[in-house]
Each structure stands twice: as structure tokens, then as C-alpha cells.
Homo-oligomer: A and B are copies of this chain.
Amino acid sequence: MSESPKPRSGRTAHGRRRVRSALALAAMELFAAQGFEATTVDQIADTAGVGRRTFFRYFRSKEDVVFPGHDERLAEVKEHLEAADRSADPLRVLAETAEFVLDMYLAEPEVSLKRFELTRQVSALRDKEIASIDRYQRVFARYLRDRCAGEPSGELRAAVAAAAVVATHNHVLRQWLRSGGELDARAELRRALEQVTAALAGQWCAAEPESVVVGAVVRTTAPAGVVLKQVEDALRDLPR
């Protein structure tokens, strides 16, 4: 039996990811060696063994290459929040969204770890990373502001809760990076977010009330089966 032919780089999802990672790693090596400003797109493409046009098929700019996927992920995060169930606990929705953001780092561990090393050395890149994280925080805050609208101090509460969720995400991400990618980051994030959202819940931004008053007058001497039947009937009449 002959082996199936290898897919050509860039033509399959796997190939595309490989080219993108190669470009990102090449860029970060050059940034570390000669600085961010001094590095050109041509040099990055050369080092990764592809052409300038290929670079621009993957990244919009030199800035974009430092955090591959951030723009797309941010757009997905916005869509996700807009589509989220309005009766769901807003902090719960944000917690799920934070897991989704973390997944982006976990999907390309080599790039994430290299970048972590680099951002500790090159303060300009660290600043870019911080700005990138801040974009998520602003999207999170906007979502909460919308959900908390009308609550007393809604805007303040939204800003604080968004900051708390993002700080939790970053704390777990840092721990994962420090562990060299060994930590079970998904489980750790879930645990930490449960702790943080539990502390904030109620005080910060409540889910829209889903409370339903079931009016069913029953004689207390009626057998349990009859009571249950009457409550069931009452529930059946409620709008779905």
C-alpha cells in the first residue's frame, strides 16, 4: 500500500496553519534579533521561505503577525456575544467567551510560547499585546453595559466585571505559559472563572428575570397527584 500524497502547503487547513505558524515564528525571531521597527515584511517572508504575496494572504500587516488570529477571534467574540441568549446569566456568557479566547492561544502553543518569551524582552511588543487584550476587555464591557443598562451604576459595574473576567483569563494564560504549556489551562480557567463570577454575581449584573408566577389554587387536602396535575395544567397555558 502506497502512502497517500502529502497535501501541498497552504492548500489544506493543516497546510495553511503550518505556513501561518512558520511566518509567525520567523517574524518573532527577527523581532527579537533586530527589533520590531527594523524588521520588514520581505525579511519575514524570506526567512519563512515564502514570497511577500503569501505573507499578505495570511496577515494584513507586520503588527498582525505578532498576534495571528486576534482580529478574526475578536470578530467572532463580538458575533458570539450578540447571538448569546438574553436570558442567560451575562457573567456566565462572558466566562464561556473567555474560554473561547483562551483556545486561540492553546491551539498554537509553539507560537504562544515564543511570543511570551519575546514580549518579556521587547517592550514594544508587550505594549501591542496589552493593547490587543484591551480590545477584548472593551468588547466584554460593551456587552455587559448593554445587559446591565438601567441598573444603578450599570456602566461602572460593567467595566469592573469585564476587567475581572479578563484579569482571570490573563492570570490563567500566564500560568500556562510559565508552565511551558503543561498546565491544563481549560480546567484551570473554568475553576478560576467560577470563583470570580460567583463573587461578582448578584452584586454586579443580574440576568434578565425569567421569573414566572404560576397561579394554581389547590385544596391542601387534595392528593399530591391532583396538585401536580393542576400545576402542570397551569404551566401548559404559559407562553413559551
Chain B residues within 8 Å of A166, by CB: 163
Chain B contacts for A196, CB-based, 8 A: 156, 160
Is A153 on the interface with B (CB-CB < 8 A)?
yes
Name the B residues within 8 Å of A204 (CB-CB): 199
* Chain B residue nearest in CB terms to A135: B130
A192 interface hit (Cβ, 8 Å): yes
Chain B min CB distance to A186 (Å):
16
Do A167 and B171 touch across chains, with their CB atoms under 8 A apart?
no
Contacts of A126 in B (CB 8 A): 131
Known: A128-B127, A130-B131, A199-B203. A164 touches B160 (CB 8 A): yes
A189-203 residues at the B interface, CB under 8 angstroms: 192, 195-196, 199-200, 203
* A46, B166: Cα distance in complex, Å: 43
Task: Please tell me if the beta carbons of A192 and B127 are within 8 angstroms of each other in the complex.
Answer: no
A112-143 vs B: 1/0 string, CB under 8 Å? 00000000000000111011001000000000
Interface residue A97 (Cβ < 8 Å from any Cβ of B): no
Task: Report B-chain residues with C-beta under 8 Å of the C-beta of A127.
Answer: 127-128, 130-131
The contact of A155 among B128, B155, B171, by CB within 8 Å, is B171
Q: Is A159 an interface residue (CB 8 A)?
A: yes
Task: Give the distance to chain B from A45, nearest Cβ to Cβ, in Å.
Answer: 22
Q: Does A47 contact B (CB under 8 A)?
A: no
Q: Give 11 pairs: A residue, B residue, CB < 8 Å, sorted on A.
A: A127-B128, A131-B131, A153-B192, A156-B171, A159-B171, A160-B167, A160-B168, A160-B171, A163-B167, A199-B203, A199-B204
